[in-house]
Amino acid sequence: MKHFTSVNDVQDAEALAQAALEIKRQPSAYSEAGKNKTLALVFLNPSLRTRMSMQKAAMNLGMQVIVINADKDGWALEFEDGAVMNGASVEHVKEAAGVMGKYCDILGIRSFPGLRDREEDYSEKILKKFIEHSGVPVVSLESATRHPLQSLADLMTIRETWKKKTKPKVVLTWAPHVKPLPQAVANSFAEWMCRAEVELVITHPEGYELHEAYTRGAEILYNQQEALRGADYVYVKNWSSYKEYGKILCSDDAWMLTQEKLKITNRAKVMHCLPVRRNVELSDEVLDGHHALHLLQAENRIYAAKAVLKMLLDHDQPDRQVDKANTLTTIS
């Protein structure tokens, strides 16, 4: 794996989740795997979990970490080729990414979509420019269309808590929100679940269909109650419309997940990537109840990050023995 920007960069999603769980069981393993290597984390948008889990994972691997809040303390960047830079932008991504590539061995980028121009957002222009001009492996810290580190931690969390041999029924349900949010977490979760050993059902109001490239293999229902019946996991997430791009089409609070709604599930565990708007997306009683997995998901972000960084470090050292799933070297 050269970069980590989606499930398509991974040979076997389930094997990677298992490798991350193995790392969780042996937290002191690989403590020198990243010795003398530097990770730079560039945030064009805010973050709590991604920032902290990546820093902790990298430090546990012996890496040095540089964090840039590019939205606040970096120069305003230009991304257009051929731009006449006589306006607000001060530095072109060609130079900024090129310099970063000289200072670090792995680069993480967080870049949200503008939610105004669907084609531009879905072209992943910003992420691709950093890949093109940095010359080092790039990890998506959530891009315009995907959040693969979150999805890997989500798959880990399901595998860690599902003890049966059968496939769990996993329901991704849309929830209301006060602001238009990206489709990235929902796209990415759907895409990873479609590669995993689960039965995926997606439920949302009409008009909130995700692009089918991310949902192929999932059942899609407009009736939330029908979708929730017999669910083993319920993943709650808001996203703005893909069809009427970036718009809020529904504010019906009947879509909020409540304890009452969980009665028709198979005592489902409840998931959310965080940050969460309490009593808008999910009720207090669900989040504070014993079926909620959001803190375990957040904890697993550390081990997902560690597994991904370890894989990228190994890719740099082809003499290391790589396991069958081409995900991680064997812990020794």
Decide: is 99 part of the binding site for ligand CP (CB under 6 A).
no
Contact with ligand CP (CB under 6 A) among 2, 31, 48, 284: 48
Decide: is 49 part of the binding site for ligand CP (CB under 6 A).
yes
Closest-by-Cβ residue to ligand CP is 50
For residue 171, what are the β-bridge partners? 201, 234
Decide: is 224 part of the binding site for ligand CP (CB under 6 A).
no
Least separation in angstroms between CB 53 and ligand CP? 8
Per-residue tokens: 215: 């949902």
Number of residues that bind ligand CP (CB under 6 A): 9
Q: Which is nearer to ligand CP, 29 or 66 (CB)?
A: 66
User: What sign has the CA pseudo-torsion 55, 237, 112, 12?
Assistant: positive
Contact with ligand CP (CB under 6 A) among 6, 50, 145, 151: 50
Q: Which is nearer to ligand CP, 46 or 135 (CB)?
A: 46
64-93 mask for ligand CP (x: CB under 6 A)? ------------------------------
Which helix (H) or strand (E) segment is 13 a member of? helix 13-25
Least separation in angstroms between CB 49 and ligand CP? 4
Q: Looking up tokens 């309490």, which residue turns up?
A: 278
Q: Are 162 and 93 in contact (CB under 8 A)?
A: no
Q: Which is nearer to ligand CP, 105 or 142 (CB)?
A: 142
Q: Strand 91-92 relative to strand 106-110: parallel, antiparallel, unpaired?
A: unpaired
Decide: is 274 part of the binding site for ligand CP (CB under 6 A).
yes
CB-neighbour burial class of residue 74 (10 A; exposed 0-12, middle 13-18, buried 19+): middle
- Please tell me what DSSP assigns to residue 210: P
Q: Which is nearer to ligand CP, 278 or 320 (CB)?
A: 278
281 φ, ψ (degrees, to nearest 5): -85, -50
Q: Looking up tokens 């200072």, which residue turns up?
A: 103
Whether residue 148 is preceded by a cis peptide bond, meaning omega within 30 degrees of 0, is no
Separation between Cα atoms, residue 323 and residue 212, nearest integer Å: 33
Least separation in angstroms between CB 45 and ligand CP? 8
Contact with ligand CP (CB under 6 A) among 5, 55, 134, 150: 150
Chain residues in the site for ligand CP (CB under 6 A): 47-50, 142, 150, 273-275
